[in-house]
A and B are shown apart, each in its own frame.
Chain A
Amino acid sequence: MLTRENVVLHVADVHKNFGGLHALSDIDLQVEEGKTHAIIGPNGAGKSTLLNVIIGRLPPSSGAVVFDGIVLTGKKPHEINQLGVARVFQTPEIFADLSILQNVMTPAFARRDGAFKINMFRAVDNEKEIRQEAEAMLEDVGLIDRREGHAGALSRGDKRRLELAMCLIQKPRLLLLDEPTAGMSRHDTNTTIELLKKIKARGMTKVIIEHDMHVVFSLADRVTVLAQGRIIAAGSPDEVRGNPVVQEAYLGGAHL
């Protein structure tokens, strides 16, 4: 496949096997700078596995992932993040023991201070800039009133919004979202869509996995459909919606 000019993420011929299970086969995917790329597909299609390969949680069995000309395959998760890739997980990964504000401040430190810095001679309380930035971020996701609260006590939908804030505060160049609206009320889903639209205006590239077609069709520039570890269709949202193969494999289900 030809590499287009403004491609920022290239998943090149990735295969991933778990024992005999082909979780991903022949995956070739290109994401253009500033675009929102949706990945849809039935349960067990391999969507989360694909994100795991991109951020270095799982090594691919073969193939490679290239981000902005840099091969990510073989790099450690923290190195990949420091290159500008952040991820919202399917099951929220937050710091349950810390306060909501601390949850958002921590990634801001990773962006400012890098992967390792012994910063023990200043109090967190005196890091005014980071604190203000974190508060502004919590304002955006609607958690500001609960900033001193315990992150572990949040509902699943709120944890997801918190995790989104944790990723956004890093101003990543590429944001990977694994079902960012699952478990949210319709109202919260719409707020999240608005938020994601707003960051799109700032030029952040996104790969988003979603089951909610309302979310997909309001955000995505391109859609890739996975089933049983293979790409069965790709194109604009409208093209995909009209594709009979997709109808058959996926959209014929309860989701449309």
Chain B
Amino acid sequence: MAGFMSRRDLTLFVGFAAIVLLLPILAAPFGAAYPDLLQRFMIFGIFALGFNILFGLTGYLSFGHAAFFGVGSYAAMWSFKLLSLNALPAIIFAVAIAGVFALVIGYVSLRRSGIYFSILTLAFAQMCYSLAYSVLTPITNGETGLRMASSDPRVLDRLFFDAPAGVPVPSLFGMSLSGWNGFYFSAVFLLATFLLAMRITNSPFGMMLKGIKSNQNRMNYTGFNTRPYTLTAFVISGMLAGLAGALLVVTDPLAGAERMQWTASGEVVLMTILGGVGTLVGPVIGAWLIKYFENIFSSFNDNVLSSFFSFLPDGAREVAVTIAGKFVGEGWHLSLGLLFVLIVVFLPGGIMEGARRIGARFGRPRNGSRVGRQRELSPTAAE
């Protein structure tokens, strides 16, 4: 273990693991302690961590990562249908297929950088979306989405036992993955992803990626072939998006095209920036916050609002409800957009940057010329 992880990393990992595993208790005061929501915390935490390996370390901003998420969902679903209800082969299959997609899309997109790279990834993702939505309906079942049926072949399962009656659900070697089991199953993958992200960030490979973000020209004149570095980061982050997509199908056995839409790609960008680009825990925090508020805001309706504004006189209450109503329920994305604008304008380093500023104000003042651990990872350090 000694050469594998420094004490500081070990502390960080143990702390993170403790929080994740105790979430069912810790989230209770916030009314978030139910398996379905916490499982989404895990899944989107993985998505954001993976995304950050590309965006946070190399600086390449992909606007198409939902494509890999969606590909992972479809691949996992096909594994459930064709092979087995066991979640493990489904996940392996999903990660592999997402990796192949990432390799092809990354290979082409990484020929450009900056805004052109972003637009290429966006274009590829929209192509994947329309393939899923209309072109490849035999594979994706188009608009309706792909789900399991008791008549599915599931060749591996049928080798050993007869198909169970009723609606098939994913499991892990016969163990049910619904409820808290599903949460802990996803939590294990989140912890593994966190470990991987930590390894990469602190390794020479990660330092090369940060070098590419900082000054790609210098990397070339220093003897590095930067293309395979960025491609490796791209494929790793695509595979992690595929993993997240597969895990979502385990809980919610319906794979639909809308998960590949550009809004879904934008959401992971938001999560990462909200939490803090290039930091380790930032993207996870961003993912959790967005999923938490999405859950709360989108459940609000006019009745909830009018009881909230019940202290106002009749006319004013109606105005307040109408205005506030635009920002909740279906309009939740409006609030999200607003939050995003505020963060980018006032706190471009995200929540981690905010925490650091507060820490600096109250804690020991840091020597300005020294590079703090977080600072060296933070994108704002460039300015």
Contact = CB atoms under 8 A, between A and B. Distances in A.
Given A77-B220, A115-B224, A121 B203 contact: yes
A123 B222 CA distance: 21
A119 B209 CA distance: 11
A245 B210 CA distance: 49
Interface string B177-196: 00000000000000000000
B134 to A, nearest CB: 39
Nearest to A111: B223
A170 B223 contact: yes
Contacts of A96: 214-215, 382
Nearest to A89: B221
Which of B4, B218, B229 has most A Cβ within 10 Å?
B218
A111 B228 CA distance: 17
Interface in A150-168: 150, 152-153, 166
Interface in A106-157: 106-107, 109-111, 113-127, 146, 148-150, 152-153
Contact of B204 (A77, A119, A150, A152): A119
Given A95-B211, A97-B214, A123 B6 contact: yes
Given A93-B215, A109-B207, A116 B199 contact: no
B381 A125 contact: no
A106 B208 contact: yes
A118 B207 CA distance: 11
A125 B223 contact: no
B202 A125 contact: yes
Contacts of B382: 96-97, 152
A170 B242 CA distance: 40
B206 A120 contact: yes
Interface stretch (B39-47, B114-122, B290-298, B369-377): B369-377
Which of A82, A110, A113, A146 has most B Cβ within 10 Å?
A110
B232 A118 contact: yes
A173 B183 CA distance: 57
Contacts of A214: none
B310 interface: no
Contacts of B330: none
Interface string B339-379: 00000000000000000000000000000011100011000
B353 to A, nearest CB: 14
B9 interface: yes
Contacts of B381: 97, 150, 152
A94 B200 contact: no
Contacts of A81: 220-223
Contacts of B223: 78, 81-82, 107, 110-111, 114-115, 170
Which of B219, B369, B371, B376 has most A Cβ within 10 Å?
B371
A76 B224 CA distance: 10
Contacts of A109: 204, 207-208
A116 B228 contact: yes
Given A93-B217, A93-B218, A123 B210 contact: no
B3 interface: yes
A113 B4 CA distance: 20
A158 to B, nearest CB: 12
Chain B binding surface SS class:
helix
A78 B205 contact: no
Contacts of A146: 369
A238 B382 CA distance: 46
A72 B3 CA distance: 40
- Size class of the A contact interface (CB-based, 8 Å): 35 or more
A94 B382 CA distance: 12
Given A78-B223, A118-B232, A122-B3, A149 B371 contact: yes
Contact of A78 (B204, B210, B224): B224
A193 to B, nearest CB: 24
A157 B280 CA distance: 34
Contacts of B219: 78, 106
A222 interface: no
Nearest to A172: B223
Contacts of B199: 120-121, 123
B210 A98 contact: yes
A98 B214 contact: yes
A77 B216 CA distance: 12
A152 B376 CA distance: 11
Contacts of B203: 119-124
B3 A110 contact: no
Nearest to B213: A97
A148 to B, nearest CB: 5
A106 B6 contact: no
B225 interface: yes
Contacts of B228: 116
Contacts of B226: 78
A94 B222 CA distance: 10
A106 B211 contact: yes
Given A94-B218, A97-B214, A119-B205, 5 more contacts: A102-B210, A109-B208, A110-B222, A116-B225, A152-B381
7 shortest interchain CB distances as A-B pairs: A81-B223, A110-B223, A120-B205, A115-B225, A95-B214, A120-B203, A97-B214
Interface of B: 3-6, 9, 199-200, 202-208, 210-211, 213-215, 217-226, 228-229, 232, 369-371, 375-376, 381-382
22 contacts: A76-B220, A78-B220, A78-B221, A81-B221, A93-B218, A95-B210, A95-B214, A96-B214, A97-B213, A97-B214, A97-B382, A102-B376, A109-B207, A114-B223, A116-B224, A119-B204, A122-B204, A124-B207, A125-B202, A152-B381, A166-B222, A170-B222
